[in-house]
Amino acid sequence: MPAITTLKKKGNSRIWEGECPEGDCNSQFSVSAPVWNPKIEVLAAFKDVRPAGSHVHGKFWIDAHRERGGE
C-alpha cells in the first residue's frame, strides 16, 4: 500500500497525496476524502479502489460511510 500524507483541507474534504510505489516512477496521486475520515479509514477504502498493478497515478475520491447513532 502506498504511503499518503495530508496535503490540504478544502471545504469538507481532506486531500491526501502520495508517490507511486513503483521505485523508478516519479508520478504522484491524490485521494480526496471527507474530513471526518481518519487516515486509516482512507487507506482501507483506497485499497478497494486503487488500480491493479504496481503503479498508482491520478486523482481518486473516497466517500466512506460515516457511522452515527447510539442506542
* pLDDT tens digit sequence for 5-55: 877 888 888 999 989 888 899 999 999 998 888 888 888 888 887 878 889
Round to whole Å and give the CA distance between 26 and 43: 21
Length of the chain in residues, anyone?
71
Q: What is the pTM of this model?
A: 0.74
In angstroms, rounded to a whole number, what is the distance separating the alpha carbons of residues 1 and 16?
14
Query: Domain residues of the chain, as ranges?
Result: 5-61
Residue keyed to cell 482501507: 44
pLDDT the model gives residue 7: 74
Neighbours of 45 (CB within 10 A): 18
- 30 contacts: CB under 8 Å, gap ≥ 6: 7, 15, 16, 17, 18, 58, 59, 60
